[in-house]
Structures are given as structure tokens and as C-alpha cells.
Structure 1
Amino acid sequence: MTPGRRISQWFRRFWLKAGALIISGWVLYNLVFPLRPVVGYAVQVKDRNGDLLHAFLSDDDKWRLYAELSEITPLLKRTFLRKEDKYFYYHPGINPLAVVRALAGNFSGARQRSGASTITMQVARMLERRPRTYGSKLIEMWTALRLESSYSKDEILQMYFNLIPFGGNIEGIKAASVLYFGKPPQLLSLAEITALTVIPNNPEQLNPQRKKALLTERNKWLKRFEKEGLFSVPVIRDALQEPLVAYRREAPKKAPHLSLRLRRELPAESRIVTTLRQAVQSQAEALVENYVNRIRGMGIRNAAVLVLNNETMEVEGYVGSADFENPVDGGQVDGVRAVRSPGSTLKPFVYAVAFDKGICIPKTVVNDVPSNFAGYQPENFDQKFKGPVTVEFALANSLNIPAVKVLNQLEVRTMVSQLTRAGFRTIEKQANDLGLSLVLGGCGTTLEEITRLYAVFARGGRYGPMNLTMDAGTGKSAMTLMSEEAAYMITQILSKSDRPDLPNNFDHTYRLPRIAWKTGTSYGKRDAWSIGYNRKYTIGVWVGNFSGAGVPELSGANIATPLLFELFNSIQYNSPKDWFERPDRLELRKVCSHSGAIPADGCTELVNGDAIEGISEFRRCEHLRWVFTDPDGTVSYCTYCLPAEGFEKRSYPNLAPELIAFYHKAKIPYLKIPPHNRMCQRMAEDGPPVIVSPQEGSEYYLQGDGGSEIQLLSQASHDAEYVTWFVNDRLLKKTDPVSPVFLVPPLGTVKISCVDSKGRNTDVVVFVKRF
């Protein structure tokens, strides 16, 4: 082997080893010190389809919106690459020919200098800003090579489009597209893209504020593209004719309350995809704003709306206030999460739980009469009483007394437990302080909690967590909060159209999809509620003032429900008419119309009533009482004094003492049991009168200094011709045994005594305080 050949082989081995060593060292260096650029992007809140709803500045106060690969269209790539780096897909991050050309031009003193920067080198410079020096250029080249070895070409191009400056604090193609043209990058035309390609070269001189200069530069590059054959002549001609409508716009601010909420709840996310449907959100925002403008003259200044998809438990519309930018009326308060008094909106849930406990069915009769619950004396909204009513009538007419009576049977702790399971956080915190007033709004809830609860009726009793983002439903399961039968019975009651809470003069219900709904008005007329649902949606509406100021005209029926109907008309106009199917375990039974119980002897007025098989109570009706009387019905007999002949067995209404007292006070006639045979010697052996009201040990809290009254009511033996009432051993009034007496009690410990005509006496002690 000749010496020349040996030297040649040595050099070949040397360069092979050196190359392998360099490559190994390069790979090892990148493994030990991986290039992982950290870029702080502005927070984007998107709808379920990925369209931008709201944007927030980045931590360094830049409008730097991250663009997905799908948002970078082929037209964008083609135009930018032709202008900035047409050999991008062919070089390793550095273009040697461009470097040589730049050096030659710079050293020759040419007027127009070239930096030889590839797109990869521009990314390196934008990732870490440095002065424009030769040393900085070398660092950029080094970083560009590292980028090329760590990322694909498309990933590097995506970085470029996300970092490129467009003047001021706007960075990235998406931010420029949205803020200059009001549209996402994928909708940009060739003329708009070309305008954006020229801005980064000189953002101070070429920007929408200098429209003439930008237009001139745009057209110059369009003609250049035509000359180079990048686009066809007709396409270029159309682009040249397109007017330049670029100007600095505000960032999108749709769904501001939800956007702020999610930004706080998800601080690590820069791209939040909500469950909102932009069409539903826009309709809801517009309807709320217009509606509040119409009722502002009444002194009602705000409203909030939540639109929930029952099938997925995803929120499709979220309006926290009528105008987010209105600081006077608390526009930035999120009415969806504000704690307010729920009024009567919890009544359906109380009845549903009672149905499941077997306490009642829709046809069960409850007395809507003045009642005292250990000092708590609720009244109806209209301060009137209806007497005996069915549960379904009581719910449809939102009567207060029957709801309190049913809750009293259930016990407050049972309801608090159920509401806590349903996610009522404020009620959970107030659990130890809540009483029977809970069902009438004596607690704190939010529109979010109530709307989610009504979705349970629409979902056949299944409760599911509410989803605000598209990935929020992962791993969450539903639980059964009530039976499907109870939910269906409540729905049937709330979907009746002959209800008193149908809005006055509302003439657009013919377009309304079939819905079930419930209204509510808080004490002092501070909050108006209307919650409606069908198979598809549950929509919650709150109307009022965030200041808490009451308005005489404010009511759920006439103020909140019209907005609810408008929302359903808008969101579900011409929707399918499908309705809920009747559950299999719901049986139809014959019940007595006077009690709602299974008919007994003498029950002649029967109706069909829904009941839950194996759950609903199966007791016999006791609305009638059989009494022995003389043939004229003027005297009644007991078995002790019943004559051998000359008597009849007759039925009389078996009325509760509270109902008798109501009939007496309202002067409503009713069929009374004849007085007992006065000749009966056994009556003298009967006990003293029973004081039905007030009850022993009751505490009364009376408001103010006015004449708040409590009711005195007794139940005496038939031989008692009259009873006499005493208060603290002082005479109050003498009256017949069944008539109520009303007393303005003194403060402190009060002894109340009742003495019948036979001298038999009963005492009770109550305690009276003032607020």
C-alpha cells in the first residue's frame, strides 16, 4: 500500500470517528440539556366547537393567543413561507446560501442588508430577545439547530406563527387575526393574510393605524406573488380589489362571568374549552339585556340565566348579569353563583321527597288554614287561605301552609340532608339554623344549585354534577336523588297550563315548547325566580337587584317567567313535542276526593290518583264520622245513652279542629255533628277540655310592637255548653266550645287556662318573646 493511500485511509477513519463523536456529543448534549421553550400565552376561553369566546392578557401583558395546528391553514403557510423562508422544509435550521449572500452584501456595503434569518432562526430570536449583533446571530444559529433536532418542521412553524410580533402587545397570528380582522386565522382571505405578512417587518410603520402604507405594501407583495406564479392571476386581481378593513379591535368578551370563573378555577390552563354553545349564549345574553332594559323603569335592574342540557349536564348558556360593564348595578356580580333567597322554588323537591317516603300522593288533601308550628305562623303569598286542597293543587298554586305541613311531617333534617346531597353548599353550612321556613325561602341558595336541582326532575330523579368544560365530565357519575315516579308526578303538576302563575297578558305561549316550570318570590320581593324544564333543557332565571332592594312589582310569575318563556321560545323554537314517559311503577288507584285515601264505607266521590307501587301510603279514608242521632238529626247519642229504638246512623264530616276554627272565622257553613244528648249521665264523667292551640311549652317570637295575635282553640266534651278562657288567671273571654279566640299575649311566661261549663279545667304554659 502506497503512503498516499495510507494517509487517505487515515483521514477517512479520522473524519468518521470525529463525525460519530460530534453526532454522539450533539445527541448527548440535547438529552442532558433538552430545549424546552417556556412561553406564557394569553388565556383563551372557547365554546364547545373551539371558537373563541373570551381572552385575557398573558402574564407579561401580551395578546399572545396560542394557535392550534388546525388553525394554521395551507394558505397561511404558503404565503408566509414564500415571503419569509421558501426553503424552510429543506434546510436544517440554517440556510448556508442565505448566510453567504448576507455576509457578502453586508461587507460590500449594500444599501439593503439581509440578516439571513430562517424561520427557525426567527423563532430562536423570539424565544429569547437579544441585541442585533453578530454574536447574537451565532447564538440564534446554535438554537435553530437545536430546535430542528428537537421538533418537527410543523411544530417549529407553529411556534413561529404563535410568536411573530404584529405591533404593540399583539403577538402571534391568531391574536393579529382576531384583533385586526375580528375573525379566526382559518377564515382569513389572501389579501388579509398578505397584509399580516408585511406587518412583522416594520410593525411601527406598517400597521392598521397607518392604513395607506400597509395597503401599499400589501399590494406590492400581491403583485410579486403574481409575478412569481404563487397564485393565479384572477385570485391576485380579486385580492388587490379587496378593501383593507383592518383596525385595532377589542378582545372578545363573551360569557364574561363564566370566563372569569374558569380562569380562577383553572389557573394552569391557557386554553379552556367550555361546554357553551355560542348560538345559545348569544341569544341568552341578548334576551337578558333587552328584557332588563324593558323593566328598568320599575326599578328592576338585573337578571341572570343558566341554560343546562339535561342529557349531558353541560351548561350551554351562562349569563351572570344584564350588563357586565355596568358598575352602577353590579354588572360584574355573577348572578348564577350569588346567594339569594329561593322563595318557593324548593317546594317541588319537598313534595317529591314526601312522595318517595309514602307520606302523600298528588291527590292527598291537606288543610290550607291558619296554622301554628311551635310559634311559626306562615301565611300564603296572597294572605288568603283555601281550606282543604289537594297536594297537586297546593303545588300548582304555590300555597305555603300545605308545603310547611308536609315538611313538618318529613322533618327539616331530612330535607337538609337531601339538599346537601344535591350540592346546596350554603344550606349545608346553615344546616343547624334552618327551620320550617326553609321551604318558603328561609335559606340561602344560588341559581346554579336550583337549576341543577330541577334538572333532576327532567332526568327521572338522577342527579349529576354540572359540567362547565368539555373534559369536566370524566370520571363523574350520577346518583339517584328521587324515584322516577316522584319526578314524573311533580313534572305533571308543574306542566299544567291553567295555573295562576302564568304571566299576566302574556300572549306568546302558543309558540312555547311544552315545559314544566315553577316560580318563586323571596320575602320583601327582592328576588324573582322561574325555573323551567323539558326533556332537552333546564333553564333557570333570576331577576332582581344585586343590592337587595325590593320592588313592589317584582314576582316570579309576572317578572321572571316572561323571560323564561322567551328563552325557551328562542332556544327551542319549533322543537320536537316529545314528553316524559310514564314510569312502570306508577299505578292509578281510586281514591276519595275528600282525603286522597283509599275509599271507605260512605265515600261516594271517587277520583283517579297516581301512586307509587309499594311505596305510597295505603290507608283507609277517615273523612267521615258515623254518629247515632235522633230521626230529626238534632241530637246525637253515644253507645251509653243510645235508645233501644228511634235512632239513625248518619255520617258527618270528620273535620280537624283547625279546619273547624277556619270555617267559624271565615263564616263558612259546614255540616255539624248535633249536640250530644243532654240526658246522658256518662258525659259528666268525661275529662276536661283539651287545648288544641297553643301547645304546651311553645315559644312565640312576635315582631315589633304591633298587635301580633296567637290563636286559642279547645276541644271540649259534648255536654259542655261553653268554655271560658283565662290568661295568667285573668278572665279573657267566654265562648262556645268550638270557636277560636285570638289573643295578643303579654311578654314572658304566659299561663293559658280553659274552663268548660261543667267546671273542668286545663292549663298550658307558653313563652312569648319579641324580635
Structure 2
Amino acid sequence: NYDLGYDGAIKADKALSRSLNIPAVKMLQQYKYERFYDKLKKLNFTTLNKPADHYGLSLVLGGSEVTMWDLAKAYLGMARTLNHFNDFKVQYNLTDYSEPNYIKNTKTKADEIEPNSYLDHGSLWATFNAMEEVMRPGEEGLWEQFSSSQRVAWKTGTSFGFRDAWSVGVTPNYIVCVWVGNADGEGRPGLVGIEAAAPVMFDIFKQLPSTKWFQTPKTKLKTIAVCKESGYKASEFCTTKINELVPFAGERTTTCPYHKLVHLDVTGKFRVTDNCVNPSQMRHEKWFVLPPSMEYYYRIKNSDYRTLPAFLPGCNEAGTNAVMDMIYPKNNATIYIPIELDGTRGKVIFNAAHRNQEAKIYWHIDKEYIGSTKSFHQMAIDAAPGKHILTLVDENGERLVQVFTVLDRDKKTAVQ
């Protein structure tokens, strides 16, 4: 992420409002960048002049150039779609995404009313609400304390090399786009959207009349129980549930995978199984359990997170408990190890996580022992080109086995 930090787990609306990179990339991996590319083309982004494979997953992080005019046109279309929710009897007018006009009363295209559109009412409403939560710059950060301050859905951006800083904001009545940079494209340290462009944008909004917020498209939303901790649709094991309006697609998502029913001994200090404790003597408790790699970062920023208790000694079969996870690389990853400036072969840092912060991990590559780590599980690896098997074993015999491939540094191709 831009702040060089990790959160471990975060809700989708917070990831959007904070412009976090990793959640966006993982979401696009699931959605497929080809589909996203096609949708942007339908929204008439004129600078997408290369095939989808050229941009890949970087497309969701601004991997393609865009003109301020195209950006304003897209946000204008989204705002028009919500504003026309009742006008077209909850249907869509595709001309909402047509070109803006400089001149008032310019003849526009005839309405094209369709039952579906590029972006649906419910998703737009939820997205704009999330974008409203972005932390405003400077004194604007206290905007909620002033009843006269208007609600604005907004985002910022910064190009590679600090060459461009931009900010765009939208209300039901206005779109404001601001670009800051040098005409010759030369970069400047500190030229970032939140610091350079956003203050100008909010100064402009201060001069504009306040407007009401977008109307809630209730017939395109449904109230469901949501897990307060994970943000997923609540499962039977979620401890705190809240009712939220979500787009219809939200109802089809999976239930919370992180709340589980944990079996404890009578003291509540150890986990047990029916192999060693009679079920009648167990305590059953609902528990928020993240995978080890997510937990590693999440508990740093969430002091109230409770790690799972250890198993009662002799009560768990080794190898059946997922206590380790690789932060990097993931299973079946392909790695390129570059040459250092002095011409020597470089190394890649492997990073693992264990639920027990004091655990010791023994590292093996292709069944050859290469070292051990404790507390901070990082290992510098210099593996030959080809496919390798990484095996991690902790003091209790728990194992994690993964496969990774090192590219040939000269050919940059995988060696079989």
C-alpha cells in the first residue's frame, strides 16, 4: 500500500475509502481484468488504446493513462444514473454516460432506456457512500462537525514519479475535477493528490451551493445481517451482527468464513477434541479466527484481537492444525531473482507467519535444511532456477508445504 503498511484484514468500504492497493488487486484477480477492461471501454475511456493484457492487474491501480475529461465523464454518468433513479422507473438511461456539454441547451442524444446498465443503482449508491468516508485534508477532516458542510464522494490519485496529482468529487448537482502538475510532465516530490489537488477541490466545493445527498435506491437494495467484525454476510457463528442495506449481489456472497465454533476445556485455556475430552465436558465458544498471515498484521493494529488458545498437550494430532502460513511467496508462485549492482546473484526474502509469536520454524528447500527462525520468520533464499518444494516445520511437528518456481535470470523463463 502507499503507506507501506499492512492491515491483515479490512472491510471493503474501508479499503476503498483508504485507497488500499492489495485489496483492489485481489478483487480484480477474482473479477478478471479482461471484464474490467471491457467495462471501462463501454464507459468511453479514450486512452485505453492497448489490449487488456498490456495493462493486466495494474489497471485497477491506475495502470492506464486517463484524461481529466474522461474521468469527469465517468463520474458524471454515475451521478446521473442515481439522480434518474425515479425518472426512468428504476431502469437505466445509457445516454447518462454520454459526453458532457460546455454549452447550455445543447441538443443531446435521445434517451436509451434499458433494464440494465454498466453500473447498477445499488452498487453506485454503496460506492459513493464509501467514498464519502475518505479522510479530508487539513481542516476539512472535521467536516462532520459542521452542519453546513456538504457531503461529497471523492477520490484522489498520484501518478508514478509524482508527475500528476488529481482529485475528483461528486455530489448530486456537481462534479469537480482538479489536476495539479507541471505542463512538461516533470515530477516533483510530494506532488500527491491528497495534499496538492484535494484542498483545491474542496475550496471549489465551498463556493458551490450545498445539495442534498443521493436518494437511496431502496428497490435496488436489500437489508441483510452483516458480521460486524468481518463485513461478510453473517453466519450462525458471528458474535455481533448488524443490519445493512446492500446491493442485491451482496445477498449472493458467502457467509463469514472467519467466525468458527471453538471447543475448549472446562478452564477455557486450551482447545480440545473429542479424542481426548468428553464433549459433555467441553466449552463451546464462537471465535473470530483469521488465517495466520492475515492475523500476523491484523493483531498489530487491533489490540482486542484474541488469538486461538493452544491445544491441550497430547490432544491434537500433529499436522492437522493450520498454524503457519506464507506471507510471501504464495503457493505455486513464480519468482525472478535479479542480479545485484555489483554483478552478484541476488536473494529473495521469504516471509512466514505463525500463530504462536514465540514459535520456532525450521526451513527446508527440496528436503534440505537451510536454517531456522524464531518470532520473526524471514529467510533470504538463493534458489537455483526451476521448481522447488518449500517445507516449514515447527517445534510441535506442524508442517507447511508449498511449491515455488524460480525463473532463469538470463532467459526469464521457468526451468522445468
TM-score by length of 1: 0.44
The aligned runs of 1:156-235 (5 Å cut-off) are: none
1:765 corresponds to which residue? Answer: 404
**Counterpart among 99, 103, 107 of residue 466 in structure 1:** 99
**Counterpart among 523, 545, 552 of residue 189 in structure 2:** 552
CA distance in 1 between partners of 2:113 and 2:340 (Å):
51
CA distance in 2 between partners of 1:702 and 1:685 (Å):
31
SS of structure 2 residue aligned to 1:766: strand
CA distance in 2 between partners of 1:616 and 1:524 (Å):
41
CA change 1:514–1:670 in 2 (3 A) is: closer
2:363 corresponds to which residue? Answer: 725
1:429 corresponds to which residue? Answer: 50
Shift of 1:447: 1.2
> Which letter maps to 1:580?
F
Identity %: 25
Name stretches of at least 5 consecutive residues in structure 2 with no aligned partner. Answer: 83-93
Deviations 1:91-143, CA, capped at 9 Å, x for gaps: xxxxxxxxxxxxxxxxxxxxxxxxxxxxxxxxxxxxxxxxxxxxxxxxxxxxx
**Counterpart among 388, 396, 407 of residue 28 in structure 2:** 407
CA distance in 2 between partners of 1:759 and 1:516 (Å):
48
**Counterpart among 256, 259, 267 of residue 624 in structure 1:** 259
**Counterpart among 136, 155, 163 of residue 518 in structure 1:** 155
Deviations 1:297-350, CA, capped at 9 Å, x for gaps: xxxxxxxxxxxxxxxxxxxxxxxxxxxxxxxxxxxxxxxxxxxxxxxxxxxxxx
CA distance in 2 between partners of 1:476 and 1:485 (Å):
21
CA distance in 2 between partners of 1:554 and 1:688 (Å):
44
**Alignment of 1:637 onto 2:272:** yes
CA change 1:732–1:634 in 2 (3 A) is: farther
CA change 1:391–1:625 in 2 (3 A) is: same
The aligned runs of 1:279-318 (5 Å cut-off) are: none
Shift of 1:469: 7.0
CA distance in 2 between partners of 1:537 and 1:488 (Å):
16
Shift of 1:667: 10
Shift of 1:472: 6.2
Shift of 1:416: 0.8
Name stretches of at least 5 consecutive residues in structure 1 with no aligned partner. Answer: 1-379
The aligned runs of 1:226-625 (5 Å cut-off) are: 380-460=1-81, 463-468=96-101, 473-474=108-109, 477=112, 480-496=117-133, 499-500=134-135, 502-505=136-139, 513-570=150-207, 572=208, 575=209, 577-585=211-219, 586-613=221-248, 616-617=251-252, 619-625=254-260
Deviations 1:359-415, CA, capped at 9 Å, x for gaps: xxxxxxxxxxxxxxxxxxxxx212122343222222222222222222222121121
Deviations 1:164-223, CA, capped at 9 Å, x for gaps: xxxxxxxxxxxxxxxxxxxxxxxxxxxxxxxxxxxxxxxxxxxxxxxxxxxxxxxxxxxx
CA change 1:732–1:504 in 2 (3 A) is: farther
CA change 1:635–1:467 in 2 (3 A) is: closer
CA distance in 1 between partners of 2:201 and 2:310 (Å):
56
CA distance in 2 between partners of 1:609 and 1:562 (Å):
32
SS of structure 1 residue aligned to 2:371: strand
CA contact (8 A) 2:289 2:307 kept: no
CA distance in 2 between partners of 1:769 and 1:449 (Å):
42
Kindly name which structure, 1 or 2, has the bigger radius of gyration based on alpha carbons. Answer: 1
Aligned Cα RMSD in Å? 3.8
CA distance in 2 between partners of 1:507 and 1:735 (Å):
43
CA contact (8 A) 1:457 1:488 kept: no
CA contact (8 A) 2:266 2:281 kept: yes
CA change 1:568–1:701 in 2 (3 A) is: farther
Which has a greater percent of helix?
Answer: 1
TM-score by length of 2: 0.76
Moved more, 435-444 or 741-750: 741-750
Moved more, 629-638 or 739-748: 739-748
CA distance in 2 between partners of 1:762 and 1:387 (Å):
22
CA contact (8 A) 2:383 2:406 kept: no
CA contact (8 A) 1:696 1:766 kept: no
Shift of 1:725: 1.0
SS of structure 2 residue aligned to 1:459: helix
1:654 corresponds to which residue? Answer: 289
CA change 1:529–1:616 in 2 (3 A) is: farther
CA distance in 2 between partners of 1:609 and 1:652 (Å):
22
CA change 1:727–1:604 in 2 (3 A) is: closer
CA contact (8 A) 2:333 2:405 kept: yes
**Alignment of 1:698 onto 2:333:** yes
CA distance in 1 between partners of 2:149 and 2:62 (Å):
28
Moved more, 648-657 or 466-475: 466-475
CA contact (8 A) 2:168 2:177 kept: yes
CA change 1:760–1:673 in 2 (3 A) is: closer
CA distance in 1 between partners of 2:79 and 2:369 (Å):
58
**Counterpart among 335, 352, 375 of residue 713 in structure 1:** 352
Shift of 1:563: 2.2
CA distance in 2 between partners of 1:612 and 1:384 (Å):
30
CA distance in 2 between partners of 1:548 and 1:451 (Å):
21
Which has a greater percent of strand?
Answer: 2
CA distance in 2 between partners of 1:602 and 1:446 (Å):
47
CA contact (8 A) 1:664 1:739 kept: no
CA contact (8 A) 1:426 1:445 kept: yes
The aligned runs of 1:123-162 (5 Å cut-off) are: none
CA change 1:595–1:665 in 2 (3 A) is: closer
CA distance in 2 between partners of 1:686 and 1:507 (Å):
48
CA distance in 2 between partners of 1:551 and 1:638 (Å):
60
